[in-house]
Every structure is written in C-alpha cells, then in structure tokens.
C-alpha cells in the first residue's frame, strides 16, 4: 500500500499512515501494530511471534506462538482456547467449562463442582461433589461408585454390588439373591 505519511519518534517508534486509512506503528523491539481503516480492527504482532487481534465487535484473539495456542475472548465473556494438539476448552461467563480432548472426549466442569465426561463410544461418567460416580455404558449397563460400594446394573435388571469389605451381592430379576464373602465363597444363595 502507498504511504500517505510517515513519522519517526525520538523513542525509535515509527508510524506510517497508508492511503487506504490503515495505520502501522513499528516499535524498536520488533513489535508492530496495524490499525485497520475502520479504526476498530487492531492487530499487534509481538517480537516473540505472538499475535493479538481486536475485532470490531470487541472479540479479542490472542495467538501464543511458542505454545501454538489460540485464546479467543468474545464480547459476551465466553473464552475459547485452542491448543496445538487439537484440545479445545470453552470457559463460560457463568464459570462452567467444557473441554473437548483430541480423541473427542468431552468433559464438562460445572460451577457446583459436578463433572460429566462423554466418551466417543457413548459412555457417560458423572462425578458428584461428594465423589460418588455414575457410569452409563453404551451397552445399557450402569455403574454407581460410592465410598461404601460399587454397584453394576444390567439391562436385564440384575444388580451386582461389591462392598468395600469385599463382600459381593447379586440380585437377579427372578428374585434370587447370591452373596459371596471377600474371597468369593458363597455365603447365601436364595434360589427361587
């Protein structure tokens, strides 16, 4: 572009005004700034390779060259981080976070301390504030983990519970209940 005016400042800064209305400012350390002809679009290219863009709608896009990471902040407060490995994090204004990992697993972190992970195979893991965990498998099975036991519920209605002392209890749809001790020895079996 043609230069309309060029000004050199005592501190070493040089400003160029282009005929199309853009302003370019060059700093002695190698950083330079471009203000678009609209006066609202600003791009700062830092000496270390980082780039900061401010868009007309006040969206700020910051690219960290060393980390190859882009951090976008939207005017509504949403922040999106895109990492070089493909991971994407969304930080919502209300404090919720959503992380999409390179394998497409999605993890939601809620403001009340709960977590939810959705795996590519359809498995969903929910962790409550107290540490208890619910796992929903894509085959219809469901697991509940608490500090006292682990319970698996099968689609046919069978429920198997393993207690922290190692004792196992299996309840069948037929009404049958089988209990084993920590070593696997049957201590009760009600056959219906």
- 87-123 pLDDT, tens per residue? 999 999 999 999 999 999 999 999 999 999 999 999 9
Q: Residue 10, Cβ neighbours under 10 Å: how many? A: 5
Please state, in angstroms and rounded to a whole number, the distance separating the CA atoms of residues 99 and 88: 6
Residue 139 has pLDDT above 70, yes or no: yes
pTM of the entire structure?
A: 0.80
Tokens of 128: 């409550």
pLDDT tens digits along 160-182: 999 999 999 999 999 999 999 99
148 alpha-carbon distance from chain centroid? 31
């Amino acid at each position: 572009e043609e230069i309309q005016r060029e000004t050199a400042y005592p501190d070493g800064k040089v400003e160029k005004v282009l005929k199309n209305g853009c302003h370019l400012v060059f700093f002695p350390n190698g950083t330079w700034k471009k203000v678009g002809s609209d006066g609202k679009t600003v791009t700062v290219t830092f000496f270390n390779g980082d780039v900061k863009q401010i868009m007309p709608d006040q969206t700020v896009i910051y690219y960290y060259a060393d980390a190859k990471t882009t951090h976008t902040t939207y005017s509504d407060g949403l922040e999106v981080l895109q990492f070089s490995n493909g991971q994407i994090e969304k930080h919502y204004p209300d404090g919720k976070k959503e992380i999409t990992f390179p394998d497409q697993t999605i993890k939601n972190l809620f403001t009340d301390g709960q977590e939810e992970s959705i795996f590519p195979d359809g498995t969903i893991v929910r962790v409550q504030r107290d540490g208890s965990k619910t796992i929903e498998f894509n085959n219809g099975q469901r697991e509940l983990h608490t500090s006292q036991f682990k319970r698996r519920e099968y689609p046919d209605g069978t429920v198997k519970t393993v207690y922290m002392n190692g004792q196992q209890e299996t309840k069948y749809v037929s009404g049958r209940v089988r209990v084993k001790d920590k070593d696997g020895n049957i201590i009760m079996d009600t056959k219906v």
